[in-house]
Amino acid sequence: MKRREFITLLDGAAVAWPLAAGAQQPGKLPTVGFFGAYTVAVQSPWTAAFVQRLRELGWVEGHNLAIDYRWAEGRSERYAEIAAEFVRLKVDVIVTVTTPVALAAKQATSVIPIVFAAVSNPVGTGLVPSLARPGGNVTGLSNLISDTGSKKLQFLREVVPGLGRLAIIASVSNPAVVLELDEVQAAARTLGLEVAISEVRRVDDIAYAFDALKGRADALYVCADPLMYTNRIRINTLALGLRLPTMHGFRDYVEAGGLMSYGTNIASLFRRAGDLVDKILRGAKPGDIPVEQPTKFDLVINLTTAKALGLTIPESFLLSADEVIE
């Protein structure tokens, strides 16, 4: 969904200047450390949503706010390095995405406020002790991806006739993925599905994982993760080669050739992250800001991929989808 872009211009910077700005050094703008898990190009829609929301709230980059961007490009070895750099720079707020990145930021500082834009299970992974009262220096938005496993499997059963064997590919070095894996396995057992799990820890493991899946599954569930996201085109291509319908957690995977996804809109979460950053820059403590959870999930299906797999999607399913990619 495209929103009309607008910028609120102010005659006097003091009108939009935050309460917290009084503590800033003379001439130093409040600074947000934007910790991107992926590349500039991949995250551009999310970044734009975040920056636009800040503008609507009176924060104009280069005018009364500085944003310092760093990009991990899907490389986990960069997480601790970037987090430490933001601490050295003494930014006022760190904005992150994904559980591993948020955990790296938390490990780097217990003082600088941290806002995570989209993580799976912030309590279960130890990011915060409570959603209502996160305490400490961390707050943000959950994408509830680990809680949607059962629903995703139900959707798979609707479009894959005779689904009996489910493959799951998961980057198990991510604690949020481990929790999601447990949820999906439990849901699969309830549905009477046979499960084959392929664990990956680095890029080189992906091809081996698919080799191990040959002839062992009727569909593939992909646990969302920076490693999976960065290699989503490759994963979907390999899955198509094995004629495996895929289920994902976010639309971007389906746009990259996956069959379907069910999950939250990441750009909308980044937009909400702008509201949390605004509150913190105006003096609120992150530990007093409840972690927010999404209320809307989008079902997206790629008809081109369905046709390539020889699948006929029920009309009722297409009518219930939020988006059909052709």
pLDDT one-digit tens code per residue, 212-221: 999 899 999 9
What domain range includes position 39?
Answer: 13-142+265-288
- The reply to whether 168 falls in a domain is yes
CA atoms within 13 A on the CB side of 87: 14
* 30 to 89, 105, 281, 314, 316: CA distances (angstroms): 12, 19, 8, 52, 51
Distance between CA atoms of residues 147 and 264, nearest Å: 12
SS3 225: coil
What kind and span of H or E run contains 185?
A: helix 175-190
- The reply to whether 317 falls in a domain is yes
Strand 66-71 with 194-200, pairing: unpaired
Whether 156 and 168 map to the same domain: the answer is: yes
Total tally of structural domains belonging to the chain: 2
- The reply to whether 18 falls in a domain is yes
- The reply to whether 6 falls in a domain is no
**Of 133, 141, 194, residue with least CA distance to 163:** 194
Whether 190 and 305 map to the same domain: the answer is: yes
Neighbours of 21 (CB within 10 A): 19
pLDDT one-digit tens code per residue, 235-288: 999 999 999 999 999 999 999 999 999 999 999 999 999 999 999 999 999 999
- The reply to whether 7 falls in a domain is no
Please report, for the domain that includes residue 22, its CATH number.
3.40.50.2300
pLDDT band at 23 (very low <50, low <70, confident <90, very high): very low
Cβ contact 247:232 at 8 Å: no
pLDDT band at 146 (very low <50, low <70, confident <90, very high): confident
Torsion of CA 236, 242, 243, 249, to 10 degrees: -30
Gyration radius of the chain over CA positions: 21
DSSP characters over 247-294 = EESSHHHHHTT-SEEEE--HHHHHHHHHHHHHHHHTT--GGGSPPB--
Distance between CA atoms of residues 65 and 302, nearest Å: 40
Distance between CA atoms of residues 170 and 247, nearest Å: 13
Whether 99 and 191 map to the same domain: the answer is: no
Whether 116 and 250 map to the same domain: the answer is: no
* Token code pair at residue 110: 């217990």
- The structure tokens 């309460």 sit at 19
pLDDT at res. 27: 61
182: pLDDT strictly greater than 60:
yes
pLDDT one-digit tens code per residue, 193-213: 999 999 999 999 999 999 999
